[in-house]
Structure 1
Amino acid sequence: METGSPGYRVGTADPLTRGDPADWLQALRDGTRAAHQRVESHPVLLPLQSDRLTMAQYRRALAVFLAYFAALEAVLPPWLERFPQAGYRYLPRHPLIRRDLMDIGAVLPEGHSGAVPQLISRNHLLGVLYVLEGATQGGRVIAPRLQRRLGLDARRGARYFHLYHAGQWRSFRASLGGAAPRGGLEQALAGARSTFHALEAHLAAANSEQPKESLHGAYRPL
């Protein structure tokens, strides 16, 4: 991750009733498990879990992430100003992914249209951020594989998968208790689920643009 990466520092809204971060995290984890599994097992993203990952497969996965985060981060900043904890800073993903794609010689798509998660309240935002920050933890497994298999690292081609070094999950979790008003869990769950559903929509669009044999032919799960 580049130390000079821009970040959206959140605002300081009125204090909210404190909750137990561990309880909220468990409820969000349980409530999104099925959606999480569907995303991880999608044929566009599944190769990221294999030591047989090819550059073409990696490029395709990054292209989906770019479309997803570019669309989301076009609408996200105003909501981050309403987040009630000043100690947390969201690090934009799509500039890192764009540079990663440029590093590996990809042709960048034009435009940032696409599905975005449901954002109606600060509780919905909590659910969105839960998914985005939780996803950075996958870099602990994927980043070493990218280094071994494709020779990519935090300085070239794999910036996005090194975000976990920034301690984002720890700072988000620390702020969760103060940002969890009583009765808001259902809204947070709705935001988290809609975040996965938006990514599924981007994956479905990518899947429809490529013949099935080219998606599945080169990859065999271990």
Structure 2
Amino acid sequence: MTDTTTQRLRKGTRAWHEALEATGFATAMLAGTLPLDRYVGQLAAYRVVLRALETELAHTACPCVGSVWSPDLCKLPLVERDLRHFAGLGATPEPCPAAERFAAEIRRTAALEPRELLGYLYVLEGSTLGALFLLGYVTRAYRLTDGNGVSYYGSGDRARWAAFAERLDRALGEGGVQDRVLAAAERAYRHVALISAELSAGLNSEAAEPV
């Protein structure tokens, strides 16, 4: 039996997913010792990436992309809401060069082969399911209440994911196109790993910051 596109993507990127779970950033988050500025830094990095990706997805004329992309997949407003909350607490993130490089690649991809944007979207939409698992760790570590600061981490939705996966499977039936989208998903994971590496620097000597 032939794997669907999403099954191929899940199997093909499993090693990347497991590697991200072992980063200093991820292990510190699970331990409740991730400094607040690193959490806010991740949100700021994702703002850069999501702004580029969602802009290109919304404006491309590629019918394949248009059949998969839906406005309900937008995450940029959620990240911006979280960042406004932390800005009110005086948390100002540092620039993330790795996020800027990812955004630049997204724009290049949109110009050259827009179907590959779906590989990036697969990774970032899937990450919200993992973020939903981490939601409790984040709210406890930074004493967040009433949903403040966790709009993005609380945005995972399995029904939305299932609908997205179904559209992706329908749109990418051709093996050659699936190969290109899988390669793009692997590039996306590499960029996310580089962002995580920047955010992991020096964590062994740091402790979580109270809010």
Q: Does the CA-based 8 Å contact 2:120-2:185 persist in structure 1?
A: yes
Q: CA deviation at 1:131?
A: 0.9
CA positional deviation for 1:143: 1.2
Where 2:153 maps in the other structure, the secondary structure is helix
Where does residue 73 of structure 2 map in the other structure? 91
1:178-217 residue pairs with structure 2 within 5 A? 178-183=170-175, 184-206=177-199, 212-213=201-202, 215-217=203-205
- What do you get for the CA RMSD once the two structures are aligned? 3.3
The TM-score normalised by the length of structure 1 is 0.70
Where structure 2 has 5 or more consecutive residues not aligned to the other structure, the ranges are none
For 1:106-160, what per-residue CA distance to the aligned partner results, in whole angstroms no more than 9, with x for missing partners?
2256798432344443541332221112111113311122233323357310000
User: Could you say if the C-alpha distance between residues 102 and 46 of structure 1 is closer, same or farther in structure 2, counting changes exceeding 3 Å?
Assistant: farther
Greater mean alpha carbon deviation, residues 183-192 or residues 108-117: 108-117
Evaluate the alpha carbon distance shift between residue 88 and residue 101 of structure 1 in structure 2; reply closer, same or farther with a 3 A threshold: closer
Alignment of 1:44-123 (within 5 A): 44-79=25-60, 82=63, 83-85=65-67, 88-104=70-86, 105=89, 106-107=91-92, 113-116=100-103, 117=106, 118-119=109-110, 120-123=112-115
What's the TM-score, normalizing by structure 2? 0.73
The superposition leaves residues 70-96 of structure 1 with CA deviations (integer Å, 9 ceiling, x where unpaired) of 343443422386325278435332332
Deviation at 1:29, TM superposition (A): 1.3
One-letter amino acid matched to 1:114: R
Seen in structure 2, the aligned counterparts of structure 1 residues 216 and 62 have a Cα distance that, compared at 3 Å, is farther
Identical aligned residues as a percent: 25
Paired residues for 1:152-167 under 5 Å: 152=144, 155-165=147-157, 167=159
Cross-structure match for 1:124: 116
Change (3 A) 1:32 1:139: same
**Does residue 218 of structure 1 match 2:206?**
yes
Equivalent position amino acid for 1:188 in 2: V
Task: Check the 8 A contact 2:5/2:173 in 1, yes or no.
Answer: no
- From the two aligned structures, give the one with the greater helix fraction: 2
- Within the candidate set 14, 24, 35, 1:43 is matched to 24
Shift of 1:54: 4.2
